[in-house]
Each structure stands twice: as structure tokens, then as C-alpha cells.
A and B are shown apart, each in its own frame.
Chain A
Amino acid sequence: MRITIDNDAAKFVVRLADTEMILGQRLCEMCSNGPFLEEDIALSNVALDLIGRAEQLYKIVSEIENKGLSADDYAYRRNEREYFCLKLVEQPNTDFAWTITRSYLHDVYANEVFKQLLKSDIPNLAGLSEKVLIEIRYNLTHARDWMLRLGIGTEESNSRVQGAVDQMFRYVPEIFHWDVVDNKYLSDTAAIEKSWKSEVSALLKEANIKEPELMDVVMRDYREGFHSEFLGHILTEMQFLPRAYPDAKW
């Protein structure tokens, strides 16, 4: 069975869903690997927000597409090229600085996107966005505070977070390569880019982190299902059981 997504609104929502899903899965990797117990618990809370959000978004996709597929079908039965998450969120937990930087850059983006979706006419999306924004406000604070601790903390933490920012910035430009679908469902894509840049610039400055230049790296766009090599591995692991036992119900 090959799952295609045909409706523009569903194409738009599945990008958000996949992005939240894969970031959630990445944060699951941190469970029992946090720097201390309290932070382990905190990261699990963030992961729970993300996966819960992905599930709700997949439900919206499923309603729009109306093909009798469930949220789980969308998460578990699509291949790499049929996934539409940002490359940013596929990046690994190389160290805690990577984990935090990835979340921070994502949260700023997601915050701006969901703000605009408060007025979305895609059914159920405006209502969901209200709830999501409350979660993001907290998660963003958590990530931002850690960016400051790492940036200002020690020489080592500063150099690690600088490395993470340098690496992650390679995956930022594609976020702003808005296409027709984005522009159809977001009221002002240019404003998202502007707000993202001013928030991130200000934070990096406060945290003593040098802001890398945003350069276009030659990589095809996530909107066409092009990914880093990481995604295949993430999906292989995540989808193993439903793929190996297609008739089973869990």
C-alpha cells in the first residue's frame, strides 16, 4: 500500500505533523540519557507534547483526505520519500547542545507558524493551534533558557553550543523556501521568516553565540520528500513492528 497525499490542505498539515513527529521521536532517544534526572523528565514532557500534537495533526490529515486511513497509518506506513518533515528535526542528539539547539530553532519556527494558524480555515486546525501555542510557549522558554546556560556557562559549553548552531543553521534556509501550498494556508510567510530571524539573532547575541550566515546548501527541499540520511534510520526503527506484522493490532 502506498499512501499518497492529494489534497493541498492535507499536504500542508502533514508537513507540520511529520516535523513534530520526528522531533518527538528524536527526543524520545533522550529518555534515560538526560544530564540529570529533572532534565530527563523535562525532555520527556516536551516529547509527549510533540507526539500528541503530531497525532492530532495526522487526524486532521486523515479527515481531509478521507481515505479511511488512521493517524497511525500516516505515521507508520509511509516511506522516507513520502515523509515531509524539516531536515532540521532529523538531526541527531550528538550531545545535549545539539538536542537543545534543534528544539530551540524548531520551537521559534513552530511558534510563528501556529500563531498564524489561529485563524486557519482548515477544520479543527485553529482550535488545535490554541492548545499548541500554550505548549510551545513553555517549551520555547525551556529551550531558550538552556541556550543561555550553555552559551554563557563555560568555555566548553559555549564551544559545543556554537558547533551545534553552526551545524543546524545549514538546515534552516529550506524552512523559508515557501511554496504555493505554504502561501495558501499561512497568512504571511514573510513575517514568519522575519520574526524567526529577529528572535534567533537576539537570543544568540545574548548567549554569546556567533550567528552563522544563512547560506543555501545544495539540498533538495523537504516539501518534495528529500531528506538527510538520518530519516531512513529513524523510520526503520519507528515503523518496525507495524511493518513486520502488518496484520497485527497493537
Chain B
Amino acid sequence: MDKYQAAFDAIIEKDDRVEPRDWMPDDYRNNLIRQISQHAHSEVIGMQPEGNWLLRAPSLRSKQVLLAKIQDEGGHGLYLYSVAETLGVSREEMIDQLHEGKAKYSSIFNYPALNWADIGAIGWLVDGAAIVNQVSLQRTSYGPYSRGMIRICKEESFHQRQGYEIMLHMAKGTPEQKEMAQDALNRFWFPSLMMFGPHDADSAHSSKAMQWKIKRESNDTLRQKFIDKTVPQAEFLGLTVPDPNCKWNEETGHYDHSPFDWDEFWAVVNGNGPCNKERLDHHKKAHNDNAWVREAAVAYAKKTESTLV
């Protein structure tokens, strides 16, 4: 084994962090690029379902909170693109891969946001699930990714509360509001549980990523953590989790759940969800329609700044 591999192995072994200038195996680098760019795209595409209600937010307060939250998603996408760029891939390449359908983003954002309570459900469940995952990733072995996650977790702590607050208002509001809240929970429950990815036994990228300490906990472990903390929150709202088998199990010390509809999951991952095409088209349109703005900025810099430094 050469000295570079040995140095890399030692870093992983000691739970140290790999930094951009360190040598790393190609597989490790590629695995990181795939995971981080997917994470970045998810943040950015995730702006759309929430953006769908931004103009219709029902109060000045909720409009500001929602805008600040969507803006954070954009910011987190930006941090993550930055992290991926330290691995030698440019943001431009990542966006091209997204547009060509070569890079994925979290399937959950291919579901539509149909009523105002969906904005609550997205914050509470979707961000809630993302946070469980991201908290775990704060200990990921790649230094810039770990630092990015620490920053993101700190900023996202208000997101889930914002969502839950909306659910609270809706669930305790008029009968129509409560109906919207239950409807949102019904639609978002299973998709947000499937956000954690396939079961451990079926997860293609998981074992290698665990070995390299890119991922610190398995899909099923994280998913169960999320279910266990979320079910009591639903009960507090007076809403019903749309799974008759979701009951506390004394023996395991966890909530049970019904089998997931993985056919639906894979259909959405592979492009056949309710909004896949719309999300991608929206991103392409904003990017392409504004190419002239970026060209203007380049031309202006050339005319006015002879050197950057």
C-alpha cells in the first residue's frame, strides 16, 4: 500500500477529517461529489414547492418567515456547491449534470405543494427528516462537508419550528384549516419517510459511504429516529398519521410502520413523479432565460476591471 493510501486510511481510522488538499481515493472523491451535489441540488430545487405559496402566504409575518426560509435553502445550496467545488467539480458542471438529468435531487421535491398546510408539512416533516440526516452528517469525514453541515444545521433549526407552527395554527384552527392540515400530513408522511432512502439491505451506495465515514448512520437507523420523534408531535397536533400500523412497540422500543411503497419511490426517483418535469423545467428556464445577464456581468467586469487582484 502506498504512503498516500496509508495516510488516508489513518485519517478515516482516527476519525480525523480529510481536507481538500489531501490525497484521497478516486472512489471516495466521486462518492462525495455525487452525494454533495445531490444534496446541493435538493436545496435549490426545494425552493420551488415552497415558492409556490410565497406569493399567497396569508400574513405579513408568514410571508417574511417563508421567504427567509426559502432564501436559506438557496444559501444552503450555495454552501454545498462550494463544498463540492473543493473536490474539483465546478458549479457550472453540476448544473449541467442536473439539467441533463445525470444528477439527482431528493425525490420529495417532486411532490406538489397543494394547500397552505403543505408549507407547514414541508417544514415539519421534510426539513425534519433532512435535519436528522444532516445532524448525523456533521461528523462526516470530509472536512468542508462537515463544516458546511454544522453551519447548515445551525441555520435550519428554525425551519422545522416554522413548519410546526403553521401546522399548529392549522390543526387548531377552523374545520377547513384542520382538514388542510390532515390532508397535508396524509400526502407528505410516507414520501418524507422514504427520503432516508432504500432500506439498508438495498442501498447501493451506503456500505462504502459508511466505511469511509461519509455517512455516519444507516438509512434505517436515521429513519427510525425520525419516526420516533415525529409521531408524538403529530399526536400533539391532534392529527392522525396515515398508517394504521404506526403503533408504539414495547419490545423494540420504537414505533412500527407499514411497508413502504418502493415502486412509487423509484418511479419518482426515475422521473415519473408528479412534478419532476416541472421542477427541472423551472430551473432550466431561470438559468437559460438569464444567460444574457451573466454575459453582461462578464463583459462589464472585462471592461472595468483589468485584473481581479
Contact = CB atoms under 8 A, between A and B. Distances in A.
Q: Do A and B come from one complex?
A: yes
Interface of A: 25, 28-29, 31-41, 44-45, 47-48, 51-52, 54-55, 58, 71-72, 75-76, 95-96, 148-150, 152-154, 156-157, 160, 237-238, 240-242, 245, 247-250
Contacts of B62: 250
A48 B56 contact: no
A32 B286 contact: yes
10 contacts: A35-B290, A36-B294, A41-B78, A48-B64, A75-B60, A152-B300, A152-B303, A238-B55, A248-B176, A248-B177
Given A28-B63, A48-B64, A250-B59, A34 B296 contact: no
A223 B57 CA distance: 27
A57 to B, nearest CB: 11
Interface in B54-89: 54-64, 67-68, 70-71, 74-75, 77-78, 81
B16 to A, nearest CB: 31
A37 B60 contact: no
B71 A156 contact: no
Contacts of B47: 31-32
B173 interface: yes
A150 B296 contact: yes
Contact of A31 (B56, B67, B174, B299): B67
Nearest to A71: B60
Interface centre among A41, A148, A242 (most CB of B within 10 A): A41
Q: For chain B, which range describes its interface: under 10, 10 to 19, 20 to 34, or 35 or more residues?
A: 35 or more
A51 B63 contact: yes
B294 A241 contact: no
Given A36-B290, A157-B299, 17 more contacts: A31-B70, A32-B51, A32-B74, A32-B286, A39-B293, A48-B64, A48-B68, A55-B61, A55-B64, A149-B300, A153-B299, A154-B299, A156-B296, A157-B293, A241-B57, A241-B116, A248-B177
Contacts of A157: 292-293, 295-296, 299
A31 B293 contact: no
B60 A55 contact: yes
B48 interface: yes
A95 B286 CA distance: 10
Contacts of A37: 44, 74, 77-78, 81
B297 interface: yes
B64 A35 contact: no
A153 B297 contact: yes
Contact of A72 (B55, B60, B169, B286): B60
Interface in B160-208: 166, 169, 173-174, 176-177
A152 B154 CA distance: 41
Contacts of A250: 58-59, 62, 116, 166, 169, 173
A241 B60 CA distance: 12
| Interface of A (DSSP majority class) | helix
A240 B54 CA distance: 12
A156 B291 CA distance: 11
B22 interface: no
B225 interface: no
A98 B293 CA distance: 12
Given A37-B44, A150-B293, A58 B60 contact: yes
Given A37-B74, A245-B174, A248-B177, A237 B63 contact: no
A60 to B, nearest CB: 14
A142 to B, nearest CB: 13
B162 to A, nearest CB: 13
Contact of A249 (B169, B289, B294, B303): B169
B252 interface: no
Contacts of B293: 35, 39, 96, 150, 157
Contact of A40 (B55, B74, B304): B74
Interface of B: 44, 47-48, 51, 54-64, 67-68, 70-71, 74-75, 77-78, 81, 116, 166, 169, 173-174, 176-177, 282-283, 286, 289-290, 292-300, 303-304
Nearest to A96: B293
Interface centre among B47, B58, B59, B294 (most CB of A within 10 A): B58
Nearest to A95: B289
B56 A238 contact: yes
Contacts of A71: 60
A138 to B, nearest CB: 16
B228 to A, nearest CB: 30
A25 B56 CA distance: 10
Contacts of A247: 174
Nearest to A241: B58
Nearest to B301: A149
B74 A44 contact: yes
Contacts of B289: 95
Contacts of B70: 31-32, 44
A61 to B, nearest CB: 13
A247 B58 CA distance: 12
